[in-house]
Amino acid sequence: MLVRCWAEQSRRVVARIAATPDSGVHALPFLHRALLLPLLSAASAALRLSRLLSSSSSLYCPRHALPVPVVSVGNLTWGGNGKTPMVDFLARSFHNISVSPLLLTRGYSGGDESRMLRRRLSDTSAIIGVGANRAAVAASILHKYQIGVAILDDGMQHRRLLRDCDIVMVNALTPWGNTHLIPRGPMREPLTAITRAHIVVIHHAHLVSEAQLKTITSTIKDNGATCPVFFSKLVPSHIFEVNQPLQRLPLHVLHGMIVLCVSAIGCPDAFVRSVKEIGPLKTERLDFSDHHFFSAHDVQLIQDTLKKLVYQHKNDAVVLVTEKDYDRDPDALRMLDAKVWVLSSCLQIIPLEEQGDDEFMRKVREIISASRHAKLQRARA
Ligand SMILES: *[C@@H]1O[C@H](CO)[C@@H](O)[C@H](O)[C@H]1NC(C)=O
Ligand SMILES: *[C@@H]1O[C@H](CO)[C@@H](O)[C@H](O)[C@H]1NC(C)=O
CATH number for 307: 3.40.50
The residue contributing the CA closest to ligand 1 atom 2 is 78
116 domain residue, yes or no: yes
Confidence of residue 57 (pLDDT cuts 50, 70, 90): very low
Q: 317 CA to middle of ligand 1, Å?
A: 32
**Ligand 1 pocket member 83 (CB < 6 A):** yes
The residue-averaged pLDDT of 3-26 equals 65
Who's near 186: CB < 8 A, 6+ residues apart? Answer: 18, 19, 77, 78, 79, 174, 176, 177, 178, 180
Above 60 in pLDDT, residue 3?
no
**Ligand 1 pocket member 178 (CB < 6 A):** no
Same domain? 74 vs 191: yes
The domain in which residue 12 lies consists of 2-58
The residue contributing the CA closest to ligand 1 atom 1 is 78
Same domain? 288 vs 248: yes
Span 175-203, pLDDT tens digits: 876 556 556 665 556 777 888 899 999 99
The residue-averaged pLDDT of 326-333 equals 90
First and final C-alpha spacing in the chain: 63
- Report how far residue 238's alpha carbon sits from residue 333's, in angstroms, rounded to the nearest whole number: 18
Query: What is the pLDDT, as a whole number, of residue 58?
Result: 46
Q: 300 CA to middle of ligand 2, Å?
A: 40
Query: What is the pLDDT, as a whole number, of residue 239?
Result: 97
Query: What is the pLDDT, as a whole number, of residue 8?
Result: 66
65 domain residue, yes or no: no
152 domain residue, yes or no: yes
Ligand 2 pocket: which residues have CB below 6 Å?
89, 92-93, 96, 357
As a whole-number percent, the residues of the chain with pLDDT over 90 amount to 50
The CATH number for 143's domain is: 3.40.50.300
The better pLDDT of the pair 345, 109 is held by 345
Nearest to 325 by CA among 111, 112, 119, 171: 112
The residue-averaged pLDDT of 264-275 equals 89
Calculate ∠ Cα 161-224-377, nearest 5°. Answer: 45
322 domain residue, yes or no: yes
Confidence of residue 278 (pLDDT cuts 50, 70, 90): very high
Above 70 in pLDDT, residue 286?
yes
The residue-averaged pLDDT of 16-39 equals 65
Above 80 in pLDDT, residue 95?
yes
Query: What is the pLDDT, as a whole number, of residue 49?
Result: 57
Same domain? 152 vs 205: yes
15 domain residue, yes or no: yes
122 domain residue, yes or no: yes
Query: What is the pLDDT, as a whole number, of residue 1?
Result: 41
> Cα 213 from chain centroid?
19
Confidence of residue 133 (pLDDT cuts 50, 70, 90): confident
Same domain? 82 vs 217: yes
Same domain? 36 vs 88: no
Mean of per-residue pLDDT scores for the chain: 84
Above 80 in pLDDT, residue 167?
yes
63 domain residue, yes or no: no
- Report how far residue 143's alpha carbon sits from residue 120's, in angstroms, rounded to the nearest whole number: 25
Q: 143 CA to middle of ligand 2, Å?
A: 28
Same domain? 116 vs 144: yes
Same domain? 209 vs 80: yes
Same domain? 129 vs 199: yes
Same domain? 202 vs 93: yes
**How many CA atoms lie less than 13 Å away from 209 in the CB half-sphere?**
3
Same domain? 217 vs 194: yes
Q: Last residue of some domain: 58, 84, 101?
A: 58
Above 80 in pLDDT, residue 83?
yes
Number of domains present in the structure of the chain: 3
Confidence of residue 109 (pLDDT cuts 50, 70, 90): low
For helices 357-380 and 83-96, the axis angle rounded to 10 degrees is 80
Q: How far is CA 156 from CA 229, 357, 378, in A?
A: 17, 22, 24
Confidence of residue 241 (pLDDT cuts 50, 70, 90): very high
Q: 30 CA to middle of ligand 1, Å?
A: 29
Query: What is the pLDDT, as a whole number, of residue 35?
Result: 59
DSSP 40-85: HHHHHHHHHHHHHHHHHHTTTS--B--SS-EEEEEESBSS-SSHHH
Same domain? 264 vs 316: yes
**Ligand 1 pocket member 79 (CB < 6 A):** yes
Same domain? 253 vs 218: no
